[in-house]
């Protein structure tokens, strides 16, 4: 009975935590909306400088990783430990590819002078500088969540391998997958706001 209560509390705790994360990113999206209404032309011009190919690839990568995380939860319920480990490994690999792509993209943007307080942005209209400041803040914070989520899933995978997480007790895996789905969901909002703005 107490075990069930602990699992329920762990799930509720994770949902409450995810709710606070939505407030954090929701605040950034609200800030984006305020400045978009103030600088619509400048935001559109800055958006045209974004690398849509990188953004699209990273969207596909995160959707795939979210599917793999869900597969891991389904597999643990059927006590398919090997499939759980492969699915979590695939999710973590997607996280690593996402971060590597983001490194390549940021390197290209910085080399072209698109970073906060750069001479190129300082010489242009203020709205473009605001766009890139919000972009680096939001995407950087999201990247940190990708790193944390990948690390969390590695830790969960180790516990699955050791038999601590199994078909009779998998709330830790469920919570890890929920966190990862949040990471994916946030990117689904980031992608059109920054990469597809017209």
pLDDT at 110: 95
The residues with which 169 forms a beta bridge, in sequence order, are: 166
Q: What is the pLDDT of residues 22-66, one digit of tens each?
A: 999 999 999 999 999 999 999 999 999 999 999 999 999 999 999
What is the domain-level CATH number for residue 188?
Answer: 1.20.120.80
Structural domain total, the chain: 1
pLDDT at 6: 65
pLDDT band at 197 (very low <50, low <70, confident <90, very high): confident
Q: Taking the CA of residue 73 as centre, how many other CA atoms within 13 Å lie in the half-sphere pointing to its CB? A: 16
CA distance 132 to 134: 5
Q: Where are the alpha helices (DSSP H) in the chain?
A: 2-38, 40-47, 52-77, 81-111, 119-123, 126-161, 171-195
Domain assignment of residue 175, given as a range: 2-195
Q: At what angle do helices 126-161 and 81-111 cross, to 10 degrees?
A: 160
Q: What is the pLDDT of residues 120-169, one digit of tens each?
A: 999 999 999 999 999 999 999 999 999 999 999 999 999 999 999 999 89
CA distance 101 to 91: 15
């Amino acid at each position: 009975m107490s075990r069930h209560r602990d699992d329920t509390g762990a799930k509720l705790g994770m949902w409450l935590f995810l709710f606070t994360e939505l407030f954090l990113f929701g605040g950034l999206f609200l800030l984006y909306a305020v400045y978009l209404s103030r600088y619509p032309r400048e935001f559109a011009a800055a958006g045209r400088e974004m690398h849509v190919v990188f953004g699209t690839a990273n969207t596909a990568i995160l959707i795939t990783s979210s599917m793999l995380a869900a597969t891991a939860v389904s597999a643990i319920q059927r006590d398919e430990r090997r499939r759980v480990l492969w699915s979590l490994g695939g999710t973590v690999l997607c996280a690593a590819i996402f971060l590597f792509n983001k490194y390549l993209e940021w390197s290209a943007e910085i080399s072209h002078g698109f970073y906060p307080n750069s001479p190129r942005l300082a010489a242009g209209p203020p709205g473009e500088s605001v766009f890139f400041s919000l972009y680096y803040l939001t995407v950087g914070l999201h990247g940190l969540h990708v790193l944390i989520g990948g690390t969390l899933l590695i830790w969960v995978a180790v516990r699955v391998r050791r038999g601590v997480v199994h078909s009779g007790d998998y709330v830790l895996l469920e919570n890890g997958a929920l966190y990862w789905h949040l990471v994916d969901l946030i990117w689904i909002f980031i992608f059109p706001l920054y990469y597809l703005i017209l």
